[in-house]
Amino acid sequence: MNRDKIISQYEKAKKIRIYCISAMCSIPFAQYLILFNFINNLLNIFLSTITFLLILRIYNKNWRCPLCKEKLPDRDVSKIDYCPKCGIRLIK
């Protein structure tokens, strides 16, 4: 895989990560409000939790090095320049 492709995949992963964070904050809550009048409250909380966990799964699964597929560190994305596992440079 060439460097440009690796960088663009990393950029894409960064975008998905940000979308997932906003989705985790809004979708389970919106879902709860929409279903509020239709289903049992406990079931509603349960379904919202499931939705939250599904998004969290995408969030974690997506956050990998494009080259070695190793999970990237869970800290500030702007501080990740290299993959800690294989050492590939992830920014231009």
Residue closer to Zn ion by CB (options 23, 67) is 67
Residue closer to Zn ion by CB (options 24, 83) is 83
- Interface positions with Zn ion (CB under 5 A): 65, 67-68, 83, 85-86
In whole angstroms, how close is the CB of 86 to Zn ion at the nearest point? 3
Cα–Cα distance for residue pair 1/89, rounded to 1 Å: 13
In whole angstroms, how close is the CB of 88 to Zn ion at the nearest point? 5
Percent helix, strand and coil across the chain, each to the nearest 5? 65, 5, 35
In whole angstroms, how close is the CB of 52 to Zn ion at the nearest point? 28
Cα–Cα distance for residue pair 77/38, rounded to 1 Å: 40
